[in-house]
Protein backbone atom coordinates (compact mmCIF):
# COMPACT_ATOMS: atom_id res chain seq x y z
CA UNK A 1 0.00 0.00 0.00
CA UNK A 2 1.47 3.37 -0.99
CA UNK A 3 1.86 6.25 1.43
CA UNK A 4 -0.78 8.97 1.14
CA UNK A 5 1.08 11.62 3.10
CA UNK A 6 1.38 12.47 6.75
CA UNK A 7 -1.10 13.59 9.37
CA UNK A 8 -0.55 14.84 12.92
CA UNK A 9 -2.84 13.61 15.69
CA UNK A 10 -2.62 15.44 19.02
CA UNK A 11 -3.61 13.51 22.11
CA UNK A 12 -2.88 10.31 20.20
CA UNK A 13 -3.25 8.22 23.35
CA UNK A 14 -6.86 9.23 23.96
CA UNK A 15 -9.75 6.95 23.03
CA UNK A 16 -11.01 8.73 19.90
CA UNK A 17 -7.54 9.73 18.71
CA UNK A 18 -6.18 6.19 19.07
CA UNK A 19 -8.91 4.98 16.71
CA UNK A 20 -8.16 7.84 14.31
CA UNK A 21 -4.48 6.84 14.34
CA UNK A 22 -5.36 3.19 13.69
CA UNK A 23 -7.65 4.12 10.78
CA UNK A 24 -5.14 6.52 9.23
CA UNK A 25 -2.36 3.92 9.43
CA UNK A 26 -4.63 1.30 7.85
CA UNK A 27 -5.27 3.72 4.94
CA UNK A 28 -1.56 4.23 4.27
CA UNK A 29 -0.92 7.56 6.02
CA UNK A 30 2.16 8.37 8.04
CA UNK A 31 0.98 9.50 11.48
CA UNK A 32 2.82 11.84 13.82
CA UNK A 33 1.19 11.59 17.23
CA UNK A 34 1.66 13.87 20.19
CA UNK A 35 1.04 12.79 23.76
CA UNK A 36 1.11 15.38 26.57
CA UNK A 37 4.08 17.25 25.18
CA UNK A 38 3.41 20.98 24.71
CA UNK A 39 6.35 21.30 22.29
CA UNK A 40 5.59 18.13 20.27
CA UNK A 41 3.52 19.86 17.62
CA UNK A 42 5.98 22.68 16.98
CA UNK A 43 8.74 20.39 15.73
CA UNK A 44 9.52 21.93 12.33
CA UNK A 45 10.78 18.58 11.04
CA UNK A 46 7.20 17.27 10.99
CA UNK A 47 5.47 18.07 7.69
CA UNK A 48 1.80 17.17 7.65
CA UNK A 49 -1.05 17.63 5.23
CA UNK A 50 -3.65 17.67 8.01
CA UNK A 51 -4.13 17.72 11.76
CA UNK A 52 -6.59 15.97 14.06
CA UNK A 53 -6.58 17.89 17.34
CA UNK A 54 -7.95 15.61 20.05
CA UNK A 55 -5.84 16.68 23.04
CA UNK A 56 -7.89 18.33 25.77
CA UNK A 57 -7.81 18.02 29.54
CA UNK A 58 -10.48 15.86 31.16
CA UNK A 59 -9.37 15.13 34.71
CA UNK A 60 -10.84 12.13 36.54
CA UNK A 61 -11.15 14.17 39.74
CA UNK A 62 -12.45 17.70 40.35
CA UNK A 63 -9.64 20.15 39.54
CA UNK A 64 -8.31 22.35 42.34
CA UNK A 65 -7.80 25.23 39.91
CA UNK A 66 -10.15 24.70 36.95
CA UNK A 67 -8.81 27.75 35.11
CA UNK A 68 -5.20 26.54 35.23
CA UNK A 69 -5.92 22.80 34.85
CA UNK A 70 -8.70 22.84 32.26
CA UNK A 71 -9.61 26.16 30.65
CA UNK A 72 -6.13 27.49 29.88
CA UNK A 73 -4.77 24.21 28.45
CA UNK A 74 -7.91 23.63 26.33
CA UNK A 75 -7.97 27.13 24.88
CA UNK A 76 -4.23 27.72 24.55
CA UNK A 77 -3.58 24.17 23.32
CA UNK A 78 -6.16 24.56 20.59
CA UNK A 79 -4.85 27.98 19.58
CA UNK A 80 -1.27 26.70 19.56
CA UNK A 81 -2.24 23.85 17.21
CA UNK A 82 -4.11 26.24 14.90
CA UNK A 83 -1.26 28.77 14.88
CA UNK A 84 1.34 26.09 14.17
CA UNK A 85 -0.92 24.67 11.44
CA UNK A 86 -1.36 28.08 9.86
CA UNK A 87 2.39 28.78 9.97
CA UNK A 88 3.12 25.36 8.44
CA UNK A 89 0.45 25.93 5.75
CA UNK A 90 -1.41 22.78 6.79
CA UNK A 91 -4.53 22.47 4.69
CA UNK A 92 -7.12 21.28 7.22
CA UNK A 93 -7.50 20.96 10.98
CA UNK A 94 -10.13 18.66 12.46
CA UNK A 95 -10.95 19.67 16.03
CA UNK A 96 -12.30 16.84 18.13
CA UNK A 97 -14.65 18.86 20.26
CA UNK A 98 -17.55 17.46 22.25
CA UNK A 99 -21.28 17.77 22.71
CA UNK A 100 -20.16 19.56 25.88
CA UNK A 101 -19.55 22.61 23.67
CA UNK A 102 -23.25 22.74 22.74
CA UNK A 103 -25.32 21.02 25.45
CA UNK A 104 -25.58 23.61 28.23
CA UNK A 105 -27.86 26.05 26.51
CA UNK A 106 -31.06 26.59 28.56
CA UNK A 107 -32.37 29.24 26.15
CA UNK A 108 -32.22 27.03 23.05
CA UNK A 109 -35.75 26.63 21.64
CA UNK A 110 -37.32 23.35 22.73
CA UNK A 111 -37.58 20.89 19.84
CA UNK A 112 -35.17 22.83 17.60
CA UNK A 113 -32.25 20.65 16.47
CA UNK A 114 -28.89 21.91 17.67
CA UNK A 115 -26.45 22.90 14.95
CA UNK A 116 -23.35 25.05 14.46
CA UNK A 117 -25.20 28.06 15.91
CA UNK A 118 -25.80 26.37 19.25
CA UNK A 119 -23.17 26.88 21.93
CA UNK A 120 -23.07 26.08 25.61
CA UNK A 121 -23.57 29.36 27.41
CA UNK A 122 -20.54 30.51 29.38
CA UNK A 123 -22.68 31.86 32.24
CA UNK A 124 -24.62 28.59 32.51
CA UNK A 125 -21.41 26.52 32.49
CA UNK A 126 -20.06 28.67 35.34
CA UNK A 127 -23.35 28.45 37.26
CA UNK A 128 -23.43 24.64 37.20
CA UNK A 129 -19.62 24.52 37.54
CA UNK A 130 -19.21 22.25 34.53
CA UNK A 131 -15.60 23.07 33.75
CA UNK A 132 -15.29 20.52 30.96
CA UNK A 133 -18.23 22.06 29.09
CA UNK A 134 -16.73 25.50 29.70
CA UNK A 135 -13.29 24.43 28.44
CA UNK A 136 -14.67 22.78 25.29
CA UNK A 137 -16.96 25.75 24.55
CA UNK A 138 -14.23 28.33 25.01
CA UNK A 139 -11.68 26.25 23.08
CA UNK A 140 -13.99 25.74 20.11
CA UNK A 141 -15.13 29.37 20.04
CA UNK A 142 -11.52 30.54 20.00
CA UNK A 143 -10.72 28.00 17.26
CA UNK A 144 -13.52 29.30 15.01
CA UNK A 145 -12.50 32.90 15.64
CA UNK A 146 -8.87 32.14 14.75
CA UNK A 147 -9.86 30.14 11.66
CA UNK A 148 -12.10 32.99 10.52
CA UNK A 149 -9.23 35.48 10.79
CA UNK A 150 -6.58 33.32 9.14
CA UNK A 151 -8.44 31.15 6.66
CA UNK A 152 -7.37 27.88 8.31
CA UNK A 153 -9.84 25.26 7.10
CA UNK A 154 -11.42 24.03 10.33
CA UNK A 155 -13.83 21.17 10.88
CA UNK A 156 -15.23 20.28 14.30
CA UNK A 157 -16.71 17.01 15.47
CA UNK A 158 -18.86 17.07 18.63
CA UNK A 159 -19.45 13.48 19.76
CA UNK A 160 -21.43 12.57 22.90
CA UNK A 161 -20.27 9.71 25.14
CA UNK A 162 -17.71 7.58 23.35
CA UNK A 163 -18.05 3.84 23.89
CA UNK A 164 -16.73 0.73 22.22
CA UNK A 165 -13.64 -1.45 22.10
CA UNK A 166 -10.63 0.24 23.63
CA UNK A 167 -7.12 0.24 22.24
CA UNK A 168 -5.63 1.53 25.51
CA UNK A 169 -5.18 -0.35 28.77
CA UNK A 170 -6.68 2.49 30.83
CA UNK A 171 -10.36 3.34 31.04
CA UNK A 172 -11.38 6.62 29.42
CA UNK A 173 -13.76 9.24 30.86
CA UNK A 174 -16.79 8.13 28.83
CA UNK A 175 -16.33 4.50 29.88
CA UNK A 176 -15.91 5.58 33.51
CA UNK A 177 -19.18 7.51 33.26
CA UNK A 178 -20.95 4.46 31.80
CA UNK A 179 -19.55 2.17 34.53
CA UNK A 180 -20.72 4.60 37.25
CA UNK A 181 -24.15 4.77 35.57
CA UNK A 182 -24.42 0.96 35.60
CA UNK A 183 -23.35 0.85 39.27
CA UNK A 184 -26.17 3.27 40.10
CA UNK A 185 -23.79 6.02 41.21
CA UNK A 186 -25.20 8.59 38.76
Nearest to 75 by CA among 139, 156, 125: 139
**Does residue 4 have an active-site annotation?**
no
Q: Sign of the CA dihedral 115, 117, 123, 129?
A: positive
Q: Are 135 and 75 in contact (CB under 8 A)?
A: yes
Helix axes 131-150, 72-87, angle to 10 degrees: 20
- Alpha helix (H) ranges present in the chain? 15-26, 66, 72-87, 122-127, 131-150, 173-183
Q: Which of 64, 68, 136, 183 is catalytic?
A: 136
Catalytic residues: 136
Amino acid sequence: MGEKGSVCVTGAGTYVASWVVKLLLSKGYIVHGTVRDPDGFNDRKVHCQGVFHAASPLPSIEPKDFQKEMIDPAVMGTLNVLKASHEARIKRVVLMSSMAAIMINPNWPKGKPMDETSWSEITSCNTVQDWYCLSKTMGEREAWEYAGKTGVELVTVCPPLVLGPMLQKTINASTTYFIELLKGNL
